[in-house]
A and B are shown apart, each in its own frame.
Chain A
């Protein structure tokens, strides 16, 4: 068990380009979460999967944001037509079981810089 991994660790892109981030959760963790963290703030919830089902996506920041978890394992977060305001750290977390009191384990994050 190597923990939650995210790829890439850093991404620099030009405004208007599309970017995709990948998250590999701890194996057999049912729940997968995406958060965004900006400088000086705590992580902000974006979306959540239970197995392959995306059960909450209303917190995605705009319709430019989308996420998938096609086989209930890894997940991707895509941002289309990036804007400078999208520059942030994007964090993925996973947790075991279906009970929401299980702690979440976080990956190292993907730092996005939009120029």
Chain B
């Protein structure tokens, strides 16, 4: 079965420190991977995606993610965290079981950045 795992329910980081939010996946075929962020009372916002090409993908708000095929991981990173980065982060993979292109999401990781 295709799935996404986010092993940490919460990540705590001090402002200015680097952050990593972990994601591993299981999918048949080529993985199309996505990160979304959800702020309170707002919809999911697209951050970045990996389709093919360079393993390091750069996205919005200074975030980047590293695709590692051998470890089936797609960790989200940022060199210097901001308090405003505090939110709920979701990793997703395209469901390759059909042609509809829907996403399979992880349970989310709450990022808390303290001043």
Interface-lining segment among A12-20, A62-70, A72-80, A98-106: A98-106
B107 close to chain A: CB less than 8 A: yes
What is the interface residue range for chain B against chain A?
20 to 34
Tell me which residues across on chain A come within 8 A of B103, comparing CB atoms. 43, 45, 104
In the bound complex, do residue B49 and residue A100 qualify as a contact, i.e. CB atoms below 8 Å apart? no
Q: Which residues of A contact B92 (CB under 8 A)?
A: 42
Interface positions, chain B 87-107, Cβ under 8 Å from A, are 90, 92, 94-95, 98-107
**Complexed CA–CA distance, A99 and B104 (Å):** 17
Q: Which of B11-19, B35-43, B61-69, B70-78 contacts A (4 or more CB under 8 A)?
A: B35-43
Q: How large is the interface on A (under 10, 10 to 19, 20 to 34, 35 or more residues)?
A: 20 to 34
Q: A5 to chain B: closest CB distance in Å?
A: 10
Contact check, A31 vs B101: say whether CB atoms are below 8 A apart.
yes
Chain A 94-115 interface 0/1 with B at a Cβ cutoff of 8 Å (1 = within): 0100011111111111000000
Contact of A91 among B41, B43, B94 (CB under 8 A): B43
